Amino acid sequence: MRILSIETSCDETGVAIVDAGDEGTGVNFRVLANRTLSQVALHKEYGGVFPTLAKREHSRTLVPLFVRTLKDAGLYKTTSRHVIEHPLREEFQQILEREPELYSAFISEIPHIDPPSIDAIAVTVGPGLEPALWVGINFAKALSMIWKIPVIPANHMEGHVLSSLPSNHKDEMSLPAVEFPAVALLISGGHTELVLMRDWLSYEILGETRDDAVGEAFDKVARILGLPYPGGPEISRIAQHGTPGVYPLPRPMLRSDDLSFSFAGLKTAVLYLVRSLGELDDSHKANIAREFEEAAIDVLLSKSVRAIEMYDARTLIIGGGVSANDRLRDRFRKEVARVLPSVLLFIPDRELSTDNALMIAIAGYFERERATRDTATIIAQGNLRLTQG
Ligand code: KG4
Ligand code: ZN
C-alpha cells in the first residue's frame, strides 16, 4: 500500500511517501521520499511558535514541498490534460478558500501533474495548532477530490509512538515484535504523558503534565538563559559543559504516588535562581542547563519506571521531540538496563524524534481502515487525545 503523508501540526511542514505492507515477518516500510521543512528561523524572532504565521508559512510551502517529494519518489510526471474539471473546481475552491496562498499554489501546480499511483493520503488531524492543522487537512481533501484517493486522519501522538519502533536500515524499515503491555512516554513541546498500550492501537493515558509540557519547559528555560528558540537543542548543547548539582533544582512530583507530572515549578525555580545570580556567564548557564536537564530526566525516568512496575509492562517506548536529547537517551538506556533488564526499550532515531511526515505515514498505515473519500467528516482537532480505539 502506497501512502502519501502530510504533517503541518506545528512548525514543521512534512511530506513523505512510503510503501507499507505486512509481510511474513511483520510490517515493513520502504521510504520513497521524506521531506521536512522547518519554520524555526521564522519563529525565532518571537521566541516561540506564532500560530497565524505558522499557518501562512505552511500554506506557502506545502505545495512546492509536495512537488519536490513527488520528484524524490520518482512519481512526478506532468500531463497536458488539465486534471481539474469544472464542477469540481468550485467544490475545492470552497475547501481551499480559507487558505488563499495554498489555493493559488495548488491551482498553478496540481492540475498539470499526472495523478501518481498513491493508495491513500494520511494527514495529521491533531493534536496541534488548529490553523496549522487545517492547511494540511485542506490540502489532503483537495488532492483526494481531484485524484480520487481516500484520506486517513492521523493522530500526531500515535505517529510519535509508532515511529520509535522501526529499526532503520536506510530506507527500509521493519517493525519489531513488541511485547505487550507496553508503556509509552511521550515528551514533546505540547505533551508529557505516560500511555499504556495493552495491544496495538489501544492507548490509555495513565498520567500527564498538570501544567507545562517538558519540551515547553526546555524552551522557557532556554529563554530565561537568553538562548534562542527552540530551546531544547540549545539547552542540551550547553549542558554538556556544565556540572549538575552546582545550583540544585527541585524534582517536581518525583515522589507523588500518581503518574502525573509538573514542570512549571521547575521553570520558575530556574527563573528565581537566575534573578538571584545577577549577570550570568557561560559557566553559570552551562551549570544551570545541566542541572535542569538532570532534574527533568530524573522525574521522567522515575515515573516511567513506576508505570512499568505498576502495569507489569514488557516494553518502554519513548517518543516526541524531547527524545532527541542525548543525555535523556543515554540515561534511559543505562537505567532501564540496570533496573528493568527484561524490558525492551525503544527510542526513535534522532531524525524521527522531532516532527516529520514519515511518522504520520506509519500511523496512517496502522489506521488504514479509517481511510475515507467522504472527507467532509475530517476536521482539525487541536486537543485530540489518544484513546483505547
Ligand atoms: O515533537 P516535537 O518536534 O513537536 C511537538 O509535537 O511539540 O517536539 C518539539 C519539542 C520542543 O519543545 C523542543 O525544544 C524539544 O522538542 N526538543 C528537545 C531537543 N530537541 C527538540 N528537547 C531537549 N533536547 C533536545 N535535544
Ligand atoms: Zn510532535
For residue range 209-249, list pLDDT tens digits in order: 999 999 999 999 999 999 999 999 999 999 999 999 999 99
Closest atom, ligand 1, to C-alpha of 293: 23
**Distance, CA 354 to ligand 1 centroid (Å)?**
6
Radius of gyration (C-alpha) of the chain in whole angstroms: 22
**For residue 129, pLDDT beyond 80:** yes
Output the average pLDDT for the chain. Answer: 95
In sequence order, the β-bridge partners of residue 152 are 122
* Ligand 1 atom index nearest CA of 191: 7
Question: Quick one: pLDDT at residue 171?
Answer: 85
Q: What angle do CA 80, 139, 142 make, to 5 degrees?
A: 60
Mutate to test the pocket of ligand 1, among 8, 40, 292, 354 (most ligand atoms within 8 A of CB): 354
Checking if the pLDDT of 48 tops 90, the result is no
Calculate mean pLDDT across residues 307-333: 98
Flag the least confident range among 132-136, 144-148, 193-197: 144-148
What would the mean pLDDT of 31-58 be, rounded to a whole number? Answer: 93
Cis amide prior to 127 (ω within 30 degrees): yes
- The stretch 196-202 carries a mean pLDDT of 96
Q: What is the pLDDT of residues 71-121, one digit of tens each?
A: 999 999 999 887 777 667 777 778 888 888 999 899 899 999 999 999 999
Q: CB count, 10 Å around CB of 156?
A: 26
Q: What is the number of the ligand 1 atom nearest to the C-alpha of 231?
A: 14
Cα separations (Å) of 91 from 142, 199, 332? 9, 40, 51
* Per-residue confidence band for 334, with pLDDT thresholds at 50, 70 and 90: very high
Closest residue CA from atom 3 of ligand 1: 354
Q: How far is the CA of 278 from the centre of ligand 2 (A)?
A: 35
Which residues lie below 8 Å from residue 325, measured CB to CB, with a gap of 6+? 232, 236, 293, 297
Mutate to test the pocket of ligand 1, among 133, 218, 297, 358 (most ligand atoms within 8 A of CB): 218
Instruction: For residue 123, name the pLDDT band (cuts at 50, 70, 90).
Output: very high
User: Any idea which of 161-170, 251-260, 367-376 has the lowest mean pLDDT?
Assistant: 161-170
This prediction has a pTM of 0.96
Alpha carbon distances (Å) from 367 to 190, 220, 363: 23, 35, 6
Ligand 1 centroid from CA 322, angstroms? 4
Place of cell 524555526: 40
Question: With 90 as the cut, is the pLDDT of residue 56 above it?
Answer: yes
Residue of 124, 322, 332 to mutate, ligand 1, most atoms within 8 A of C-beta: 322
Q: Pocket residues for ligand 1 (CB within 6 Å)?
A: 10, 188-190, 215-216, 218-219, 230-233, 236, 320-322, 324-325, 354-355
* Ligand 2: centre distance to CA 186 (Å): 9
Q: How confident is the model at residue 169 (pLDDT cuts 50, 70, 90)?
A: low
Q: What's the confidence (pLDDT) of residue 284?
A: 98
User: What is the predicted pLDDT for the residue at 87?
Assistant: 67
Q: Average the pLDDT over 269-273 and give the result.
A: 98
The 10s digit of each residue's pLDDT in 171-182 is 888 888 899 999
